[in-house]
C-alpha cells in the first residue's frame, strides 16, 4: 500500500440517490462512495501518511486499500504532489485550449425570421406578420455553407423562424451533407410533409428537433397556436418512421402541468427520443415575469424528470449511457467560441440568442466568415467571458462543469453579459449533481476526459 498521498485542494462532496459524490473541482473528476468509504477518504485526507490514518480507522486493510484505489483511479488522490499539480495543469490547459481563434463545433443558420406560427414567447419574434424580403438566396446560403465547412465546423443547425417554410430547405440540407457537414434542423413541424421527409431529408438530415411543449394539445396550442400540437405530433411520427435521430424541445411556461409534462417525457423516452427542457429566456417575446414558471413549480417538474432519468440509469447496464450527456470540463457556455449564428441577412452573431447589435460580429456580404471569425472584437470579447470572469460563479464548485450557464439568458434578463441568474442556480446544480452521479454510475471509467460537450439543438 502507498504510504503518502496528495489530495486535491478543492474537493466537494454531494449527496445524490443515496450515494456520496466526491468531486475534484479543479480537475472535474469524481467518484461514488458510501458512508464508510467517505469516512475513510476524509480520514486519509486528515493525516500526513496512510499509516497514521490507518491507526485511527477501525477498518481492515482491504477496505482501506479499496478506497485508496478508487480515489487514485478517479483522481481524487495522487501518489505524488507533482502528479496532483500535473492534473491541475492539464485541466487548465484543456480549459484554456481555446486559442484566440478556436475552431467552432457548430453553426446555427437562421434561415428566415418568417414563421407559420406566432408563439407567445418566441425569442426570434417570428411569425406570419414578418415580411422580410431580403433573406439570403439559395446560392448565397450555399456559399455560407462552404465557408462554414472551410472554417472546420462539424455540425450545421438549420433554424429560424421556421426553416421548413423555405422551399429550398431540402436542397440546402442536401448540399450541407454533400460537403461532409453533420446536419441538424429545428422545426415546429407544421410545414413538414411525409414526401419531404422521404424524398429529400432521408439520407441528408442527421437529426431533427421538433418543438412540443405538452402532451395535451390544448396547453401546447395556447403557447404555440391553433392545431400546432397536431402538426408537431404528425411530424414527430414521420421522423420516427426513419433512421433520422429525433429530439424534442419543450419550453416550460407557467401553464405547463407537471403530470402532463412527465407523461410527455415518458412518451418520448419510450420512443427513444431525447427530450430537452428549455427554460423561458427573456429575449424577443419571451417575458419571464409574465410567462415564466415559479421556482417551486420548476423544482417539482425537475424532480419528476430526474426520477425518470434515475430509473433509466438504474435499468441500463454499466458502460452504457442512458440518455445523458457526457460531462466535460468547461468554463464557458460556448457562445462565439464553440458556436456562432448567422441571421437571414448574413449577419454573424456569437449565438442564436444573442442577435443584438452589441454582439454583431460582421456581415457575410461584406467579409468572409474566416475574417469575421478571426478578427471580430465582439467574438473575442465573448470568448474571454469565462467562469473566471463571472464574479458570482467564481466560488461555485460546479463552475467547471456548468461553465457559468447561458450568457444570453443572463444578458436577456439583466442586460449584463457577466450576470449570473442566481435564482436558477439551485436547479442547475441539482441537474449537474444528478448528471455527475449518472455518469459515474453508467460509465466504465467514471472520470470524464476533458472533451468538448455537444448539446446542440
Ligand atoms: C426560435 S425556434 C426556431 C425553430 C422552430 N420554429 C421551432 O419553433 O421549433 C427554436 C426553439 O426555441 C424555442 N424558444 C423560442 N422562444 C423561446 C424562449 N423565449 N425561451 C426558450 N425557448 C424558446 C422554441 O420552442 C424552439 O424549440
Ligand atoms: S418559436 Fe419557432 S414556431 Fe414559434 S414563432 Fe418562434 S420560430 Fe415560429
Ligand atoms: S451553478 Fe450558478 S454559480 Fe455555479 S457556475 Fe453555474 S451559473 Fe455559476
Q: What percent of the chain has pLDDT over 70?
A: 93
What confidence tier does 423 reach under pLDDT thresholds 50, 70, 90? very high
The arithmetic mean of pLDDT across residues 277-304, rounded, is 95
- The neighbour count for residue 376, using CB atoms within 10 Å, is 21
452: confidence class by pLDDT, cuts 50, 70, 90:
very low
Q: Which distant-in-sequence residues (6+ apart) come within 8 Å of 307 by Cβ?
A: none
Reference 5, options 33, 39, 47, 40; nearest CA is: 47
Please check the confidence at residue 243 and state whether its pLDDT lies above 70: yes
* Ligand 2 binding pocket mutation candidate from 111, 118, 122, 209 (most atoms within 8 A of CB): 122
H or E element that contains 108 = strand 106-110
Give the three-state DSSP class for 159. strand
Question: Poorest-confidence range of 141-155, 222-236, 297-311?
Answer: 297-311
Ligand 3 lined by 402 (C-beta under 6 Å) = yes
Mean pLDDT of all residues in 378-400: 95
Does 400 sit in the ligand 3 pocket, CB within 6 Å?
no
Q: Whose CA is nearest to atom 6 of ligand 1?
A: 162
Task: Report the nearest atom of ligand 1 relative to the CA of 126.
Answer: 1
Which residues, 6 or more positions from 52, have their beta carbon under 8 angstroms from its beta carbon? none
pLDDT at residue number 450? 36
**Angle in degrees, CA 121, 127, 128, rounded to 5:** 155
CB 408 within 8 A of CB 283: yes
With a 6 Å cutoff on the Cβ, whether 420 touches ligand 3 is yes
Nearest atom in ligand 1 to 282's CA = 19
**Alpha carbon nearest to ligand 2 atom 4, residue:** 119
Q: What are the cell numbers at 88?
A: 491541475
> In this model, does residue 344 exceed pLDDT 80?
yes
pLDDT beyond 80 at 451? no
Q: What are phi and psi of 198, to 5 degrees?
A: -75, -40
> Residue 123 CA: which ligand 2 atom is closest?
6
How far, in Å, CA of 208 to CA of 236, rounded?
A: 9
pLDDT beyond 50 at 324: no
Q: Tell me, what's the pLDDT at 309?
A: 84
What whole-number distance in Å separates Cα of residue 167 and Cα of residue 184? 17
pLDDT of residue 439: 83
Q: Give which of 352, 356, 407, 372 is closest to 158, Cα–Cα.
A: 352
Res 200 pLDDT > 60: yes
Q: Count CB-CB contacts under 10 A for residue 131.
A: 7
Please tell me the number of Cα atoms within 13 Å of 329 on its side-chain side.
24
What pLDDT, on the 0 to 100 scale, is given for residue 100? Answer: 76
Which residue CA neighbors atom 2 of ligand 2 most closely? 161
Nearest CA to ligand 1 atom 26: 211
Q: What band does 97 get if pLDDT is binned at 50, 70 and 90?
A: low
Q: Is any atom of ligand 3 closer than 6 Å to the C-beta of 404?
A: yes
Query: Beta-strand (E) ranges in 402-450?
Result: none
- The answer on pLDDT for 181 being more than 60 is yes
Please give all residues whose beta carbon lies within 6 A of any atom in ligand 1, as ranges. Answer: 115, 121-124, 159-160, 162, 186-188, 211, 249, 251, 278, 280-281, 283, 286
207 strand-pairing partners: 184, 245
Whether the pLDDT of residue 318 is over 80: the answer is no
- Mean pLDDT over each residue of the chain, to the nearest integer: 92
Rounded distance between C-alpha atoms, residue 113 and residue 110, angstroms = 7
Spatial distance between the Cα atoms of 42 and 57, rounded to a whole number of angstroms: 11
What is the predicted pLDDT for the residue at 61? 93
399 lines ligand 3 (CB under 6 A): yes
Least confident piece of the model among 56-60, 85-89, 167-171, 327-331: 327-331
Q: CA 233, CA 425: separation in Å to the nearest integer?
A: 33
Poorest-confidence range of 84-88, 268-272, 325-329, 409-413? 325-329
Query: What does the pLDDT average to over 406-412?
Result: 96
pLDDT at 319 (0 to 100): 46
Distance 108 CA to ligand 3 centre (A): 25
Is 429's C-beta closer than 6 angstroms to any atom of ligand 3? Answer: yes
Burial call 382-420: b when 16+ CB within 10 Å, e when fewer:
bbebbbeebebbeebbbbbbbbbbbbbbbbbbeeebebb
Q: Which ligand places an atom closest to the C-alpha of 252?
A: 1
Report the C-alpha gap between 436 and 22 in whole angstroms: 10
Q: Which ligand is nearest to the CA of 127?
A: 2
Q: Is 440 or 220 the better-scoring residue by pLDDT?
A: 220
Banded pLDDT at 80 (limits 50, 70, 90) = very high
Q: What is the pLDDT of residue 326?
A: 52
**DSSP letters along 249-270, please?**
EEEE-TT--HHHHHHHHHHHHH
The DSSP H or E segment spanning 109 is strand 106-110
Distance CA(300)–CA(277), nearest Å, equals 14
Please return the burial class of 77, using the count of CB atoms within 10 Å of its CB with bins 0-12, 13-18 and 19+: buried
pLDDT value at 236 more than 80:
yes
Sign of the Cα pseudo-torsion (218, 220, 222, 225, in order): negative
Residues 6+ apart with CB under 8 A from 117: 126, 127, 162, 188, 190, 224, 225, 228
pLDDT at 322 over 60: no
- 179 sits in the region (left: phi over 0; alpha: psi -120 to 50; else beta) called alpha
* pLDDT, mean of residues 309-335: 70
Tell the residue number behind the cell numbers 402532451, with chain if given.
Answer: 215
- Mutation probe of ligand 2 site: the residue of 162, 165, 235 with most atoms within 8 A of C-beta: 162
A 10 A CB-CB count for 206 gives 19
Atom of ligand 2 nearest to the CA of 113: 7
What is the per-residue pLDDT for 78? 96
- E strands within 205-285? 207-211, 245-252, 274-279
Taking residue 369's Cβ as centre, other Cβ atoms within 10 Å add up to 25
Ligand 2 neighbourhood includes 187 CB (under 6 angstroms): no
247 Cβ neighbours under 8 A, 6+ residues apart: 207, 208, 209, 210, 273, 274, 275, 276, 457
pLDDT value, residue 378: 95
pLDDT at residue 317, rounded to an integer: 59
pLDDT for the residue numbered 98? 63
pLDDT, one tens digit per residue, over 3-53 is 899 999 999 999 999 999 999 999 999 999 999 999 999 999 999 999 999
Q: How many angstroms does the Cα of residue 122 sit away from the middle of ligand 1?
A: 6
Nearest to 126 by CA among 225, 217, 255: 225
Counting DSSP H helices and E strands in the chain, the numbers are 17, 12
Rounded to an integer, the average pLDDT of 437-448 is 66
The model's pLDDT over 282-291, given as tens digits with 9 standing for 90+, comes to 999 999 999 9
Question: Is the pLDDT confidence value at 314 over 90?
Answer: no
* Residue 411: partners with Cβ closer than 8 Å, 6 or more residues away: 354, 356, 417, 419
What residues are paired with 19 via a beta bridge?
16
Residues 6+ apart with CB under 8 A from 296: none
Amino acid at each position: 500500500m502507498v504510504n503518502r498521498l496528495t489530495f486535491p485542494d478543492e474537493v466537494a462532496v454531494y449527496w445524490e440517490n443515496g450515494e456520496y459524490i466526491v468531486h475534484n473541482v479543479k480537475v472535474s473528476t469524481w467518484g461514488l462512495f458510501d458512508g464508510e468509504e467517505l469516512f475513510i477518504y476524509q480520514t486519509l485526507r486528515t493525516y500526513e501518511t496512510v499509516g497514521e490514518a490507518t491507526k485511527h480507522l477501525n477498518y481492515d486493510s482491504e477496505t482501506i486499500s479499496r478506497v485508496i484505489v478508487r480515489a487514485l483511479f478517479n483522481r481524487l488522490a495522487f501518489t505524488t504532489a507533482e502528479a496532483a499539480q500535473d492534473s491541475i495543469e492539464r485541466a487548465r490547459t484543456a480549459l484554456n485550449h481555446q486559442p484566440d481563434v478556436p475552431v467552432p463545433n457548430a453553426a446555427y443558420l437562421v434561415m428566415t425570421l418568417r414563421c407559420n406560427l406566432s408563439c407567445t414567447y418566441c425569442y426570434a419574434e417570428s411569425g406570419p406578420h414578418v415580411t422580410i424580403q431580403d433573406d439570403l438566396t439559395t446560392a448565397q446560403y450555399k456559399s455560407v455553407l462552404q465557408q462554414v465547412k472551410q472554417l472546420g465546423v462539424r455540425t450545421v443547425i438549420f433554424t429560424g423562424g421556421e426553416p421548413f417554410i423555405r422551399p429550398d430547405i431540402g436542397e440546402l440540407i442536401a448540399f450541407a451533407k454533400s460537403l461532409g457537414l453533420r446536419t441538424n434542423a429545428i422545426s415546429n413541424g407544421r410545414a413538414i410533409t411525409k414526401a419531404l421527409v422521404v424524398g429529400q431529408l432521408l439520407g441528408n438530415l442527421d437529426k431533427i428537433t421538433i418543438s412540443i411543449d405538452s402532451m395535451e394539445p390544448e396547453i401546447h396550442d395556447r403557447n404555440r397556436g391553433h392545431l400546432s400540437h397536431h402538426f408537431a405530433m404528425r411530424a414527430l411520427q414521420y421522423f420516427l418512421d426513419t433512421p433520422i435521430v429525433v429530439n424534442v424541445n419543450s419550453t416550460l411556461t407557467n401553464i405547463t402541468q407537471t403530470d402532463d409534462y412527465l407523461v410527455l417525457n415518458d412518451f418520448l423516452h419510450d420512443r427513444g427520443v431525447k427530450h430537452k427542457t428549455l427554460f423561458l429566456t427573456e429575449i424577443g417575446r419571451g417575458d419571464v415575469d409574465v410567462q415564466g414558471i415559479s421556482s417551486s413549480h420548476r423544482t417539482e417538474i425537475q424532480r419528476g424528470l430526474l426520477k425518470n432519468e434515475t430509473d433509466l440509469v438504474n435499468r441500463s447496464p454499466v458502460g452504457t449511457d442512458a440518455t445523458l450527456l457526457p460531462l466535460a470540463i468547461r468554463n464557458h457556455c460556448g457562445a462565439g467560441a464553440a458556436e456562432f449564428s448567422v441571421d437571414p441577412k448574413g449577419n454573424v452573431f456569437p449565438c442564436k440568442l444573442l442577435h443584438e447589435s452589441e454582439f454583431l460580429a460582421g456581415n457575410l456580404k461584406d467579409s468572409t466568415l474566416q475574417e469575421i471569425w478571426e478578427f471580430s472584437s465582439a467574438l473575442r470579447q465573448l470568448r474571454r467571458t469565462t467562469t473566471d470572469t463571472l464574479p458570482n460563479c467564481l466560488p461555485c464548485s460546479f463552475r467547471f462543469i456548468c461553465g457559468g450557464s447561458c450568457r444570453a439568458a443572463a444578458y436577456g434578463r439583466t442586460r449584463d453579459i457577466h450576470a449570473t441568474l442566481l435564482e436558477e442556480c439551485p436547479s442547475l446544480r441539482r441537474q449537474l449533481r444528478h448528471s455527475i452521479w449518472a455518469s459515474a454510475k453508467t460509465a466504465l471509467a467514471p472520470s470524464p476526459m476533458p472533451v468538448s460537450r455537444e448539446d446542440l439543438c
